[in-house]
Amino acid sequence: MNFWYWMGHTLSRLFGKVVCSYRVQNREALEQVEGGMIIASNHVSFIDPPFIGAAYKQPIYYFARKTLFDHHVSNFIFSRVNAIPVNQDKPELSILKKVIGLLKADEKVLIFPEGERSRDGKLKEEGEPGVGMIVCKSKVPVLPVRLFGAEKVLPRGSNKISRHPVTLVAGELIDLSDLIESTELSTKDRYQAIANRIMSEIAKLELDEDRGE
């Protein structure tokens, strides 16, 4: 963990505790895989990546909108906190190959299957097929997680931060072997089916007010 990641990680944990009473439900599930893993989450706010990263002791990688790297200062920072620049309108094959390489090198990568932040906090039923491709090519475990309350702290389209409790709910590893090995589906349909199942598993995660730490 380099200095810049450590600083961001520390500030995210502090901000989460002070402003958002940040909690993690089913924390033990986060550490059940030592090697490469895809962390698949809903996406409702700009604070999603740092809050999910704060739940892990080791650094994780995550996608960030490519335009965030346009300014030399933000480029300097994002490049040092494991952000991967991505063109949301047209994901580049080189970036997908980089992510697959990271996963095969035993790194953990945070992916938002929806592809963009939700406008109303609700989950989409379908994910982006690129997620399915990454799963098939990397063959690493997929862990569903879901943030509750983050859209109240910093909703899409707003620059104002509000106090509101945030909880990260971690699920159990998703068994996708039947889809990965399927010979009945075309490649395109297989990728989409994997993305959709991941979204379905995220949707199943529920907030328990009596659990979390």
Q: Which residue has the tokens 């589906």?
A: 185
Q: Is the pLDDT of residue 84 over 80?
A: yes
Question: What is the DSSP pairing of strand 142-148 with strand 167-170?
Answer: antiparallel
Which has more confidence, 33 or 113? 113
What is the pTM (predicted TM-score) of this model?
0.92
Strands ordered across the beta sheet of 83-86: 23-25, 167-170, 142-148, 37-41, 108-111, 61-65, 83-86
Q: What is the largest CA-CA distance in the chain?
A: 51
Confidence label for 32 from pLDDT (cuts 50, 70 and 90): confident
Greater model confidence, 201 or 212: 201
Residues in the chain: 213
Quick check: 125 and 54 in contact, CB under 8 A?
no
State residue 72's pLDDT score. Answer: 86
* The pair of three-digit structure tokens given for residue 98, joined into one six-digit string: 């980089």
Query: Where residue 19 falls among pLDDT bands split at 50, 70, 90?
Result: very high
Mean predicted confidence (pLDDT) in 61-66:
88
Mean pLDDT across the stretch 9-27? 95
Residue 210 banded pLDDT, cuts 50, 70, 90: low
Kindly state the average pLDDT of the residues 38-51.
95
The pLDDT score that the predictor gives to residue 91 is 67
**pLDDT score at 212:** 56
Mean per-residue pLDDT, 178-200: 94
Q: How confident is the model at residue 28 (pLDDT cuts 50, 70, 90)?
A: very high
pLDDT score recorded for residue 120: 75
What backbone phi and psi angles, to 5 degrees, belong to 61?
Answer: -105, 155
Q: Percent of the chain, pLDDT > 90?
A: 69
Confidence tier at 138 by pLDDT (50, 70, 90): very high
**pLDDT beyond 80 at 213:** no
pLDDT tens for 146-176 read 999 999 998 887 888 999 999 999 999 999 9
State the DSSP string of 196-212.
Answer: HHHHHHHHH----TT--
CA distances 105 to 13, 126, 167, 172, Å, are 27, 28, 30, 22
Averaged pLDDT of the chain: 91
Please, which pLDDT band fits residue 211 given cuts at 50, 70 and 90? low
Can you list the domains of the chain with their CATH numbers?
3-204 (3.40.1130.10)
